[in-house]
């Protein structure tokens, strides 16, 4: 391997730190120095004083909870480092950049190593800023020596960089495969959302059914996760370098808990690192081979309009009808939009099931359960639908905006069409989860209808707010922009405020009148009123010449 990887790593590092372009070097040095002080001095001091303030039981609790807590922390870290970069990579297929690199005779392996090393400094910093917050309390109560502390952080760092390496290998492989196709970017964005589900669901199931599996099969199911191996190694190091008396009953209990497992975990951990690094390097040239040159061209030809579009054309053969049809076609043909809505619907369906087996089953008043579930579905659907319809699915580019603005009252006509489109889309989006919930929760027909109306109206309100916010501050399709993040945050916040406001109002109405019709139909206007107000501001702002 030539030294091309160095140039790639440098470029990747410059990209990662591009926000601090003018003061990159001093800032990086200051941040690293701070992270060392943070990890070794600041966090331990703060947390030690907090622990001192509490009663002695806390120390005992922390000591005994350590192995389990460590597994949870590592699982969280592993998930974050593995899933997030993959989702991020799927948002932006970088085949164009690869073609430039490959035209300079760079090997796939070099791209992989360079990209990885360019990211390491950033993740290193992140690990050293976050890990101490979670680990320090345990290191304090176990009175771990300085060498022990350094070894613990080193282990965590190794877990982090191995996970990042796997993540990069996987995301590069996915990018390479998807990038070969003209539709790759579209599929990648859609897959990005589903990936979260594909990953989270088995883990959720694992956590949920772990006790049953352990009982029936006599297995510690978490031992299959690499994060567990790393966590057990950290626990073993902590015990080995602990300043506590080895005869301390708490220490003997914890030692008994992980004895045997730590040897297996340690072995598996080393194997995991070796297989990941060597496997990744070796597979680079086999799993994905890019070739500089044109990607596979695929041409999609539009077919006959579906029954819904034909019906709209018949009912409204006017320019406004044409705009609505165009808006529906444009939105529906982007796989990412559909995947996001499906994701929201799926979570909304899952929610009552999870809640029902949890705390809801203990609430005696059925009408309050209806209100809580309605609020939960509203929250989930309104947030995802608003970010999807208003955020990425609104205006593609600045040039596109110029075209809209160049037509007489173009922006207003466009917003009207987009809002109507959103309302039409919200019919299936709100009805499917609500019907499933009504069946699962055995609602009466009247309650089911009321909940359906409530969810539909609230979700429409949420999407109006989303469209309005994007119209006030257009972000186009750039998910990496600060404007997009700000818009998403404001949209989610407004939807949360609206949905919670509606929930409070519904509860008040239910307590005051003991009538579901009044509580559900009376409370559903909070978000639509908020949404309509924001939409009006957005429509006006978008129409004003710059």
Smallest distance, another protein to C-beta of residue 206, A: 38
In terms of CB distance, is 103 or 296 closer to another protein?
296
Closer to another protein by Cβ: residue 218 or 408: 408
CA nearest 337: which of 199, 431, 471, 477?
Answer: 477
Q: How far is the CB of 186 from another protein (least distance, A)?
A: 9
Computed from CA positions of residues 476, 482, 488, 494, in that sequence, does the dihedral angle turn out positive or negative?
negative
Closest approach, Cβ 405 to another protein, in A, equals 5
State the DSSP H helix or E strand holding residue 41, giving kind and residue range, or none if neither.
none
Nearer to another protein among residue 205 and residue 317 (C-beta): 317
Under the rule (CB under 8 A), what is the footprint of another protein? Answer: 182, 297-302, 317-323, 326, 329-330, 333-334, 396-410, 413-414, 545-546
Q: Which two tokens stand for residue 541?
A: 């702002």
Cα(124)–Cα(160) distance, integer angstroms: 8
Whole-angstrom Cα distance, residue 447 to residue 450? 5
Nearer to another protein, 229 or 414 (CB): 414
Element (DSSP H or E) covering residue 156: helix 146-179
Taking the complex as a whole, the smallest distance from the CB of residue 304 to another protein amounts, in Å, to 10
DSSP character at residue 221: G
Q: Which is nearer to another protein, 76 or 407 (CB)?
A: 407
Instruction: Choose between 259 and 396: whose C-beta lies nearer to another protein.
Output: 396
CA distances to 87, 166, 211, 337 from 184, rounded to whole Å, are 14, 21, 41, 15
The residue (of 119 and 334) whose beta carbon lies closer to another protein is 334
Radius of gyration of the chain from its Cα atoms, rounded to whole angstroms: 27
* Cβ contacts of 1-7, under 8 Å, gap ≥ 24: 1/107, 1/109, 1/110, 1/113, 2/110, 4/101, 4/104, 4/106, 4/107, 4/110, 4/114, 5/110, 5/111, 5/113, 5/114, 5/117, 6/114, 7/114
Query: Based on CB atoms, which residue is closest to another protein, 217 or 307?
Result: 307
Query: Residue 465 Cβ, how far from another protein at the closest point, in Å?
Result: 24
Residue number, 261 or 479, with CB nearest to another protein: 479
CB atoms within 10 A of CB 256: 9
Minimum Å gap between C-beta 411 and another protein is: 10
> Shortest Cβ distance from residue 338 to another protein (Å)?
12
Handedness of CA 243, 249, 253, 255 (dihedral sign): positive
Spatial distance between the Cα atoms of 510 and 526, rounded to a whole number of angstroms: 16
Pick 109 or 295: Cβ nearer another protein: 295
User: Which H or E element spans position 143?
Assistant: none
Q: Which of 172, 366, 371 is nearest to 287 (CA)?
A: 172
Report the alpha-carbon angle 17-22-24, nearest 5: 40
At its nearest, how many Å lie between another protein and the CB of residue 171?
23
Instruction: Work out how close the CB of 471 gets to another protein at its nearest, in angstroms, rounded to a whole number.
Output: 16
The residue among 335 and 506 lying less far from another protein, judged by its C-beta, is 335
Place of tokens 């992140």: 126
How far apart, in whole angstroms, are the C-alpha atoms of residue 38 and residue 40? 6
Task: Output DSSP code: residue 242.
Answer: B
Q: Give me the least distance between CB of 119 and another protein, in Å please.
A: 30
Separation between Cα atoms, residue 320 and residue 410, nearest integer Å: 11
**Alpha-carbon dihedral 396, 401, 404, 406, rounded to 10 degrees:** -150
| C-alpha 372, offset from chain centre | 24
Least CB distance from residue 316 to another protein, whole Å? Answer: 9
């Amino acid at each position: 391997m030539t030294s091309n990887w160095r140039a790639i790593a440098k470029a990747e590092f410059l990209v990662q730190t591009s926000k601090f372009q003018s003061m990159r070097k001093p800032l990086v040095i200051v941040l690293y120095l701070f992270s060392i002080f943070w990890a070794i001095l600041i966090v331990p001091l703060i947390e030690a004083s907090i622990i001192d303030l509490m009663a002695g039981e806390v120390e005992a609790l922390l000591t005994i909870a350590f192995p389990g807590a460590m597994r949870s922390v590592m699982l969280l870290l592993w998930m974050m480092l593995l899933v997030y970069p993959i989702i991020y990579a799927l948002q932006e297929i970088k085949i164009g950049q690869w073609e430039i690199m490959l035209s300079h005779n760079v090997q796939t392996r070099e791209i992989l190593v360079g990209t990885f090393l360019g990211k390491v400094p950033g993740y290193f910093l992140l690990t050293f800023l976050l890990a101490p917050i979670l680990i320090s309390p345990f290191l304090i109560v176990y009175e771990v020596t300085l060498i022990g502390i350094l070894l613990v952080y080193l282990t965590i760092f190794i877990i982090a960089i191995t996970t990042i390496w796997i993540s990069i290998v996987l995301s590069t492989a996915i990018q390479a495969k998807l990038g070969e196709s003209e539709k790759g970017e579209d599929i990648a964005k859609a897959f990005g959302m589903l990936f979260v589900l594909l990953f989270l669901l088995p883990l959720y199931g694992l956590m949920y059914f772990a006790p049953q599996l352990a009982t029936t099969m006599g297995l510690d199911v978490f031992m299959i996760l690499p994060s567990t191996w790393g966590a057990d190694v950290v626990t073993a190091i902590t015990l080995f370098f602990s300043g506590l008396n080895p005869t301390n009953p708490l220490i003997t209990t914890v030692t008994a808990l992980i004895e045997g497992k730590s040897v297996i975990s340690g072995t598996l951990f080393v194997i995991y690192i070796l297989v990941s690094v060597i496997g990744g390097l070796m597979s680079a040239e086999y799993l994905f081979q890019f070739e500089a040159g044109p990607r596979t061209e695929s041409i999609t030809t539009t077919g006959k309009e579906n029954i819904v579009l034909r019906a709209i054309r018949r009912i409204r053969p006017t320019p406004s009808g044409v705009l609505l049809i165009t808006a529906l076609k444009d939105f529906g043909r982007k796989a990412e939009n559909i995947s996001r809505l499906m994701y929201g619907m799926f979570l909304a369906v899952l929610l009552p099931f999870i809640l029902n087996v949890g705390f809801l089953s203990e609430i005696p008043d059925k009408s309050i359960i209806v209100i809580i579930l309605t609020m939960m579905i509203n929250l989930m659907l309104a947030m995802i639908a608003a970010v999807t319809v208003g955020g990425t699915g609104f205006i593609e580019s600045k040039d596109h905006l110029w075209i809209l603005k160049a037509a007489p009252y173009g922006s207003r006509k466009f917003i009207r069409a987009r809002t109507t489109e959103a309302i039409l889309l919200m019919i299936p989006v709100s009805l499917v989860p609500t019907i499933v919930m009504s069946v699962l929760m055995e609602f009466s027909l009247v309650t089911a209808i009321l909940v359906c109306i409530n969810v539909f109206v609230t979700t429409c309100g949420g999407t109006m707010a989303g469209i309005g916010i994007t119209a006030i501050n257009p972000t186009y399709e750039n998910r990496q922009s600060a404007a997009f993040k700000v818009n998403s945050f404001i949209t989610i916040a407004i939807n949360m405020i609206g949905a919670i406001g509606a929930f409070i109002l519904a509860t008040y109405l239910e307590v005051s009148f003991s009538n579901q019709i009044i509580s559900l139909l009376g409370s559903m206007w909070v978000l639509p009123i908020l949404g309509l107000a924001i939409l009006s501001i957005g429509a006006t702002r978008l129409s004003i010449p710059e």
